[in-house]
Amino acid sequence: MKLNLKQLETFVLVADLGSFRSAAERLSTTQPNVSSRIAALETSLNTVLMERDPGSVRLTTKGHELLGYARNVLSSVDELVEAANGEAAFDGAVRLGVNEMVVHTWLRDFMKAFKARFPNVVIELSVDLSSKLESDLAERKIDLAFQSGPFARKASGEYCLGVYPIIWVASPSIDLPNAKRLDSKRLDSKRLDPKDLSRFPILTHARRTRPYEAVAAHFAQWPKLRTRLVPSSNLAACLQMTTDGYGVAALLAPMVEDEIANGQLIQLDYPWVPEPLSFAARFDKSKSSSVVQSAAEIAHECAKKYSDSFQSSFSKRKRDITSKKAS
């Protein structure tokens, strides 16, 4: 019997991705090579593993039966390599999808920690909306997603990455005479109301995201105000527009901490905000390598350190605000 690990890896990938072409792209090889490996494996095992149709691949009954064994072999090889040479011996790539909040907060810390633990494993990084990351994860286009909920699909592997509030902010240069500037030494006497905010474009997350839908539903209560919502799929651009005084914005607090601290933005005292967003590292535990699970664990650790630091500074600012109100 002449079978090898490349054949087993190819078999598992074709089964997971449902396509010779997708498996070839993932393995950085050609479709004929993938087809050759599957054919050689079938010859070695003296059985048909897959039925090929134009544009699709389906496992036979025997293929379904043997797929679990193939996964176990690959998992055992990972354990063997780790036991013999440690995690530094792993190579290959992890396809990671993240949303923007992670990019602007603790992603750099994660990349450093992952590189220290797996120096020979490459991170293939993509940045997108959480909804797109979820579909990419389901279709096996990525191995691991750092994304915000709510989640339409369940993931067998999931680690918490923190819960973060959304706050209202604006440039101090815009004319909000009734605003309580929550980071200022002086607090004016009147909270902002919907009419105050609707005088300006309201910048927020992309359409079909939970924050956008919440903001849209909130201001729909006052149709006569003709509120101008400006959704953006690029939160960095949205943040820049806000600091430039283009309008007021409802943004994740961690993304605006530095701008508030250096005076480019002020936090507004408006009595309603969208619900906080929960973040998670998500992957398919049954189909992922041990490296992917380790990456999720590293992300959990990095996110917790960042979250603890952020929550401490955020709570301090809230206490300062309360103290100013009381005085």
The answer to whether residues 163 and 308 touch, using CB atoms and an 8 Å cutoff, is: no
Which residues have CB under 8 Å from 144's CB, separation 6+?
A: 94, 95, 96, 97, 137, 281, 282, 283, 288, 292, 295, 296
* CA–CA gap between residue 42 and residue 159 (Å, rounded): 38
Which residues have CB under 8 Å from 12's CB, separation 6+?
A: 67, 70, 71, 74, 287
309-326 pLDDT per residue, tens: 898 777 666 655 555 554
pLDDT for residue 320: 56
pLDDT for residue 96: 96
pLDDT for residue 71: 85
pLDDT for residue 186: 45
CATH 3.40.190.10 in the chain, residue ranges: 87-160+279-313, 166-275
Q: Which tops the pLDDT comparison, 178 or 7?
A: 7
- β strands within 184-233, DSSP E: 202-204, 229-231
The answer to whether residues 145 and 227 touch, using CB atoms and an 8 Å cutoff, is: no
Per-residue pLDDT, averaged over 75-92, amounts to 70
Which two structure tokens, joined as six digits, stand for 264?
Answer: 């480019």
Residue 171 DSSP symbol: -
Domain 166-275 carries which CATH code?
Answer: 3.40.190.10
CATH 1.10.10.10 in the chain, residue ranges: 5-85
Q: Which tops the pLDDT comparison, 219 or 8?
A: 219
The answer to whether residues 99 and 146 touch, using CB atoms and an 8 Å cutoff, is: yes
88 backbone dihedrals φ, ψ, rounded to 5°: -65, -15
Q: What angle separates helix 107-117 from helix 290-326, to the nearest 10 degrees?
A: 150
248-279 pLDDT per residue, tens: 999 999 999 999 989 999 999 899 999 999 99
Its CATH class, for the domain covering 5-85, is mainly alpha
pLDDT for residue 86: 64
pLDDT tier at 187, thresholds 50, 70, 90? very low
Q: Which tops the pLDDT comparison, 297 or 61?
A: 297
The answer regarding whether domain 87-160+279-313 maps to CATH 3.40.190.10 reads yes
6-19 pLDDT per residue, tens: 888 888 888 888 88
pTM score over 0.85:
no
45-75 pLDDT per residue, tens: 888 988 887 767 889 988 888 888 888 888 7
114-147 pLDDT per residue, tens: 999 999 899 999 999 999 999 999 988 899 999 9
pLDDT for residue 23: 84
